[in-house]
Amino acid sequence: MIFFFGTMMYKLGRNDVKRIEKETGKSPENLTEEDLKAGMKKLGIQKLEITPEDKKAVTSYESEKGPFCIYCGAKVSPDAVYCSNCGSKIEY
């Protein structure tokens, strides 16, 4: 599962999501980024690598809500050529 917090994307396995829910009493979607990172650290959970397929799926899903950088997840203006957060070339 992929979670967005501002400009950051976190990918967690299903079992790790369940562990965080049990630890915090909340779904990761309902946590702040700081709470998610604290829970991951406490439980020894590492975020998973965002694959090109994940980026494509996220881009497709997010394009309905507005453009986002596929590399860092930051929202970008519709006419952006480069991401103002990470500097990557925007791919539409």
Q: Tell me the one-letter amino acid at 24.
A: T
pLDDT range class, residue 61, cuts 50, 70, 90: low
Question: Model confidence over 31-47: pLDDT tens digits?
Answer: 888 898 899 999 999 88
State pLDDT tens for residues 3-42: 777 667 788 888 998 999 999 998 888 888 889 889 999 9
Q: Which residues contact 40 (CB under 8 A, 6 or more apart)?
A: 10, 12, 16, 20, 46, 47
**Rounded Cα distance, 21 and 84, in Å:** 33
Q: What is the pTM of this model?
A: 0.56
Q: Please, are residues 9 and 3 in contact by the beta-carbon 8 Å criterion? A: yes
pLDDT at 84 over 80: yes
pLDDT at 59 > cutoff 70? no
Element containing residue 41 per DSSP (H, E): helix 33-43
Q: What does R_g of the chain's alpha carbons equal in angstroms?
A: 14
